[in-house]
Structure 1
Amino acid sequence: MTEINPSVRADSTQEASKRLTGTLSTTDIVFTVLAFNAPLSVFVGFIPVIIGAGNGLGAPTAYTAAGALILLFTVGFTAMGRKLPNPGAFYAYITAGLGRPLGLGAAFLAVISYFFILVGGYAFGGIALEALIRDVLHGPDIAWWIWVLVLMAVVGTLGYFRISLSAKILTFFMTTELIIIVCYNVIVFATGGAHGIPTEPFMASNIFSGNVGLAVLFGIVCFSGFEATAVFREEARNPERTIPRATYIAVIMMGGLYALSAWAQIAGIGVAQVVHQTATDPTGAVLASVTAFMTKTVTDIVTVLLVTSIFAANLSTHNVTGRYIYSLSVDRIFPAALSAVHHRHGSPHRASLVTTGISVLFLMGLVLAKVDGLTIYAVLVGIGGYALIVLMLMTSLAVVGYFRASTEARTSLWKHTVAPIAAAVGLIVALILATLNVAVLVGGDQVLAASLIALFYGSVVFGVVYALVLRRRNVAVYRRIGRQEV
């Protein structure tokens, strides 16, 4: 990259020199992370898939194991966050622990993976909204991708304003989702399920049955977005306390909720029928169980909330993606103009607009290629989750490297060495299992699976090479990589 043009610096003046600010509370950030995961979507979409196509009756244990691994990762992640004030999450942490070249490679991988998850989530939202309007509300039959453009317009508008507005909307939607899920779980367990409360999910023969690799991969994907707590560091109230607290709460809530919900679905549908029914019609099996235990009216409410759940996930993912673009712009990797902060809303409004624009172009390219919405959702969200496993592995190694190099920042041995190394080992196993099952994740297409994996690892290599070029040609920009202001 050549030297920054002075006119670009002057053009940014006041706005670009500002930094994001805010007063997000622990609750605000927790619900933003939960929104990224769309709990109701996990409840009616991912959990039955793990039961039907993963490790069957062992699904609750798969979620417990995935949650334990993420919690182990969180120990080092939050410990580093307390010592490293740089915002930027994976980007900043990997830079600080493994060096600027790998840090920039990780940033490019993160941006690509978040765009995959964002556009995939939009496609799912368009399909759900189309079905709601046409089948439930008996409205006009409008193509799913047109509804996606509507969603993008609304999300892009909210992303332009102060993050506290998005946080309030996400908190409302997440509260309604959690009430429905918790009520279903309580009713199923209180009434004894279809044929009593089963203990089969905790038998070793069931835990390791079916496709364990797919179950682990999907289980980890359901936790994606928890690292976004660190992305909002600049906009958090008392970030040294708020960010770690929000991260732990989000991970524990998701782990407990998903494991209990998987057990409740097995109990509600019945041990003898649940694997077959969820394999044949994952969403239909769950909704039928909701009707059986909570009436058809509640099922209709769930159908509506599924749309709002996906919308909330899209809004959360948009905000995270925009802040990655903002961070890379602050470091002058992307154009400096995108680091502007709105004078009134305190938002990265230009980065948000670019996020919307890229999403629209990405979606329209897929539509013109005649890729159906469900394929877009399954492939992009699934493979985006694969990339997040790679990023978590790099971050675990970065934690060890950071504390080894910064002796004055060291905390307990458990936090700076033991937990991160244990998490790295678990993530290596998860990555191997995920790699072996990527083709399944993208519909069995080995060529597509290999191409997407090549894209991800290629983005890391490109970032490393680009950083090395900057080190030779533009030292000032190179030194900024990882939000390391100079």
Structure 2
Amino acid sequence: MGTPDESSHPLATGRIGAAAVTFFALAATAPLAVLITVVPAAYARGGGPLVPLTFVAVAIVLLVFAAGYAAMAHRAPYAGALYAYVARGLGRPAGVAAAGVALAAYTALQLGLYGVAGVAAAPLVRSWFHVEAQWWMVAAACWLIVALAGTVRIEIVSGLLALLVLAEIAVAVGFATASLIEPVGPRLPDHLPAVDRPALGLLLAAGALAFAGFETTGTYAEETMRPRKEAGHATYASVVILGLVLAGTAWSVSVGAGPAQITALARTRGSELLFDLAGARLAPWAVTTGRAVLLAALVAAMLALHNAIARYLYALGRERVLPAALATTARRTSAPRTASLVQSLIAGLAIAVAYLAGVRSPGILAQRLTVAGGLGVLVLLLATSLAALLHLNRVPGGEGAWGRFLAPILATVALGALACLAFRNLPSLLGVPSESALVWLTPAGIAAVAGAGLLHGVVLRGARPVLYAGIGQGGTAVVVTPAPTPQLPRPRDPGAHRPERVNR
């Protein structure tokens, strides 16, 4: 494989630790946005006490998954993350397919967040400036912030995200505490209600999609102080924190509204439910602060996803799967500058197209984009778990039976079940009737992106075998030397003249 261009520089090493990586992952999941949107929808469908338990169940599954994920991150601490892991376990063409799905899924999630930000900013702008804010103006402002911050040194970005994540966790904990101090009815139910299987499956599917983004920890492995350890530690930490925040706050919503009234309130108030409960117990400034922090959390999520996408593009450019120019980094900041600018251009064009297409209320479109992106991430987690199971057992490297075999196989089965539930409940997740074209277009889109990546990998195998050999190797040059053709001795001609032996 060709050597990198001399004008490019590698990502800087040793700049962040496990805590910073954890904040990147937490920011990407936007827990406060999940509490505002997913939790009321789950209660509106009659989930009741099972809503917080759903987050606990999904967190347990992801903790099991994290064992194999951490082992793969230890072996391949590269910016490509899932791309490199799948390439090692399922083959290089599958790795290229995983990279395509990751780029598409994270882009869909980010674009959905731009739409959500436009909706979330409306009450604030109306309250502060007494004007109606157009969603595309808010999205454009957020895009500018993300585009500028995407080329900054990673330790500066991690510090900014840490502040924003701590602020949204503080708001969630504060709202939850207010509801628990002044409960309506019992804090704990006497018994779990009877919930039919379809409703339970929908709850589990929605809960799994709510964690999308925690797996971005591996994309920062090269820039950590201990590349083979920090990503794994951050993965465990992000899942535990997310599980506690989501489950605890979801439980407090039921306590604050009352178990008997929660379903009706969730149906009538929707995304305003959490703010209504907080407003009934706290001062008005607390609710306004919560809305401002929600908007800041959405910007943090956009920035975290932007950085993850940029590092995937950087890894693909470094290995020449995509144009090598994507592997260019800034000399002063060591940020993947070209990849960051390309991602900003794509997001900016998408926002412009949505505006020119006449999108006036982006809420529904944002929901569908985030669901599609979450489904793509869920498929990636399943592929990564299977890849870990195959690679760790095919090439043993010191992992115990739990991390090498038991955890990956349990995670593969559990994630496979969650993926089946998600695709089965796709109409409800998208908010469309079962006969809608989106029900089959969404999985078809994911399959098309994966198929294109798979085909690209197969073409590289035949056309550029040396480059193909370096896929998933983190930019390490791989030289394929053909085996020498054995030379068989020629049969001796009895009539041939034998030269005399000369001593030298």
What secondary structure, in the 3-state scheme, does the structure 2 residue paired with 1:333 have? coil
Is 2:459 aligned against 1:466? Answer: no
CA–CA separation in structure 1 for the residues paired with 2:465 and 2:146: 37
* Match among 176, 196, 199 for residue 189 of structure 2: 199
Alpha-carbon displacement from aligned partner over 1:190-242 (angstroms, at most 9, x marks no partner): 34x11231325x62625x57722221122112211111111001111112232
Q: CA deviation at 1:139?
A: 4.2
What is the TM-score when the length of structure 2 is the normalising length?
A: 0.90
C-alpha displacement of 1:142: 3.6
Matched, 1:300 2:288: yes
> Following TM superposition, by how much is the alpha carbon of 1:22 offset from its aligned partner in structure 2, in angstroms?
4.4
State the alpha-carbon separation in 2 of the partners of residues 267 and 287 from structure 1.
14
Which residue, 423, 427, 430 being the options, matches 2:415? 427
3-state SS of 1:311 partner: helix
How high is the sequence identity, in percent, across the aligned residues? 28
Residue 376 of structure 2, aligned match among 371, 387, 405: 387
Matched residues in 2 for 1:235 and 1:381: separation? 28
Give yes or no for the alignment of 1:397 onto 2:386.
yes
In the TM superposition, residue 59 of structure 1 has moved relative to its aligned partner by 0.2
Partner of 1:123: 115
Q: Matches of residues 169-184 of structure 1 in structure 2 within 5 Å? A: 169-184=160-175
- Unpaired segments ≥5 residues, structure 2: 478-504
Partners of 2:133 and 2:291 lie apart in 1 by 18
Partners of 1:51 and 1:58 within 8 A in 2:
no
Structure 1 contact 35–174 (Cα < 8 Å) conserved: yes
Find the partner of 1:217 among 205, 208, 218. 205
Aligned to 2:338: 350
Alpha-carbon shift at residue 118 of structure 1 (Å): 0.7
Picking from 439, 442, 445, the partner of 1:449 is 439
**Which ranges in structure 1 are unaligned for 5 or more consecutive residues?**
none
Matching of residue 373 in structure 1 with residue 362 in structure 2: yes
State yes or no: 1:437 paired with 2:437: no
1:302-356 deviation line (CA, Å, top 9, x unaligned): 1111111111111111111111111111111111111101000110011001001
TM superposition shift of 1:24:
0.9
> How big is each residue's C-alpha offset from its partner over 1:160-188, in whole Å with a ceiling of 9 and x where there is no partner?
11111111111111111111211222333
Choose 1 or 2 for highest CA Rg. Answer: 2
List per-residue Cα deviations over 1:357-383 (Å, max 9, x = no partner): 001112222232333311221011111
Whichever structure has more helix as a proportion of its residues is 1
- 1:255 deviates by 0.6
Q: Contact 1:53–1:210 at 8 Å: present in 2 too?
A: no
Displacement of 1:243:
1.5
In structure 2, the partner of 1:14 is 7
Aligned position for 2:129: 138
- The equivalent of 1:162 in structure 2 is 153
CA distance in 2, matches of 1:18, 1:164: 16
Q: CA RMSD in A?
A: 1.9
Q: Is the 8 A contact 2:179 2:277 kept in 1?
A: no
- Asked if 1 retains the 8 angstrom alpha-carbon contact of 2:330 and 2:337, the reply is yes
CA separation in 2, counterparts of 1:162 and 1:434?
37
Secondary structure of 1:14's counterpart equals: coil
Structure 1 runs of 4+ aligned residues shifted over 6 Å read: none
Matched residues in 1 for 2:411 and 2:46: separation? 22
Q: Residue deviations 1:110-167, cap 9 Å, x none?
A: 100010001111111122223321x221344342112211111111100011111111
CA contact (8 A) 1:383 1:441 kept: no
Deviates more, 1:273-282 or 1:417-426: 273-282
Matches for 1:223-234 after TM superposition, within 5 Å: 223-234=211-222
Cα contact 1:64–1:259 (8 A) shared by 2 = yes
Aligned partner letter, 2:79: P
Greater mean deviation of Cα atoms: 17-26 or 140-149? 17-26
- Name the residue aligned to 1:326: 314
Indicate which of 179, 189, 193 corresponds to 2:180. 189
